[in-house]
Chains A and B, each alone.
Chain A
């Protein structure tokens, strides 16, 4: 599914994402940034692993940087045509930021499932994740957190615990109500400053 379509679907369930926009030129990106650091990504259905393919640039700050990044991303993405370039607001960086993954998949026997794990690019390496069949209850969501080895890292206080619980319930509802959504990755969801932002998302129909 197109990124912006997925973005709208996810946002419609009250799941917090970061504002983003397709930019057709460096100037458009500069305008979007409005003086703030941004994230720039080249999106193509042919490039499944954006960061591995060098198609993600974080903390792009200033007009010159944005122009340089726009042209380097365009060059790298050329072999994945057709592609689009996405500009996103940057989540404030802090040493306390934690990346988690929240996802969805469909099982032939049990149907839709929701996943929570320690996220980022090492998710397959650590394999610290929990899974439940949708729709989930609040108790299910809480047990998904408790089951992780990293439970105290990702839910370090009651507030972050209830925030993640709420996020899981929303994702479960979105998956249950949208029959056509077969796979979902919110990866990473960055936990920062008492809130969270799903900074990258993918939906497979």
Chain B
């Protein structure tokens, strides 16, 4: 069995042991155990604590993993760093299949020898080890969650097709909390910390094969196996998009540099090159990461760079046009027939050209007529619809017509709507119906550019010069 497939024992365990489980609510082990119970985990739970007196959180408890009779798919370890190696011996003796070490206190604080022991033991006993110094895993489908964050502090995202891997636990939990306010949902979350055993390569391979995962987003600071990462990324981007945000702009290197090339081509540039070469989309900020995840989850690939902008506000259309060109996309040129159809459908005050400014009194009928005409024009590859709900014409009927139209169109379509509570209500309506909504034309254009870039990687785009 390939190493990456051991993630299944963590994501779909039939039995879980929590080492460091406790009745003391301040202990990390308590929070993890309680989260399993509260979220209705249906498999067997084995609380383990060396000081156990027989029951923890109402469940039969054990002094050691060795004392557990049944088979153990997954062990979550939350004990002080120095105690971890002997717990791993117990896991090995008990035949545990996978382990996550949540505890910190290893290489990140200079304890490299202690960390090496973890790597050695994982190898010796043949189980897959995630961590140390991480939050572990979350599977939205079956409510597996090893995070030691009290549930009330944290808005849980909904179930969706985006899987998220993060080297950093803090970035991981922050992004998940942010995602809960977005229109898309999460499939799997993996926080992998110091990566002594399972690393970026295993994670990519696992998520590439995971049928719940349609989009992969990744926060990474560095990879352990550069070449294999490059190959794994090439394999993965052939089947699903991977968006990466790279933390840490490493300096060009401490060793003396003799050539122009070496002074330009430092470690950060090497990562950028690897991302480009393997078809990974690089995000420049956490906002971009979420914006790209959103478009990749719902939208089909784009056949070309031509964008049509439909708007009920002139200024927003101008900004959208600027953003399209800033991101190396182009404004579509409508066919004569499309223009003729639009001329008939639009009132005389509307100029028939892109961006199509349908004026502030544009209602659902006008939106619908414009979308139908423009969406079926073969010169149009992608559509930005700007729906400003502050205008007299825009109301729930406009949102409904966008939702209806979205269900029928096979080209990428995004909506731009920003504003207060009235807008937010409609935004939620649209997003819960798989219409990606952005707050600004700039964000929409950047997301479309990322989509087009990936479409080219996949060979979906027409050959252009």
Contacts and interface: CB of A to CB of B under 8 A. Distances in A.
B277 A140 contact: yes
A107 B264 CA distance: 12
Contacts of B260: 101, 103, 123-124, 185, 187
A195 to B, nearest CB: 22
B93 interface: no
Interface of A, helix, strand, loop or mixed by DSSP = strand
A178 to B, nearest CB: 15
B259 A131 contact: no
B276 interface: yes
Interface stretch (B37-45, B220-228, B301-309, B402-410): B220-228
A204 interface: yes
A109 B222 contact: yes
Given A183-B259, A185-B259, A204-B259, A110 B274 contact: yes
Contact of A115 (B222, B223, B261, B274): B261
Contact of B265 (A113, A136, A143, A147): A113
B106 to A, nearest CB: 21
Nearest to B270: A107
B264 A123 contact: yes
A170 interface: no
B264 A110 contact: no
Interface residues of A, number: 31
Interface string B182-193: 000000000000
Contacts of B277: 132-133, 136, 140
Interface in A88-108: 101, 103-105, 107-108
A124 B263 contact: yes
A127 interface: yes
Contacts of B227: 110-111
Interface in A44-79: 48
A183 B274 contact: no
A109 B226 contact: yes
Contacts of B223: 109
A124 to B, nearest CB: 6
A115 B267 contact: no
B198 interface: no
A7 interface: no
B111 interface: no
Given A110-B226, A113-B265, A133 B270 contact: yes
B69 interface: no
Interface string B259-294: 111111101011111101100000000000000000
14 contacts: A103-B260, A105-B262, A107-B267, A109-B222, A109-B267, A110-B227, A110-B273, A111-B227, A113-B270, A123-B260, A131-B265, A132-B273, A143-B276, A204-B258
Interface of B: 222-223, 226-227, 230, 253, 257-265, 267, 269-274, 276-277
Given A103-B262, A109-B223, A110-B270, 14 more contacts: A103-B264, A105-B261, A107-B265, A109-B222, A110-B230, A110-B273, A124-B260, A131-B264, A131-B269, A131-B273, A132-B273, A133-B270, A143-B276, A184-B261
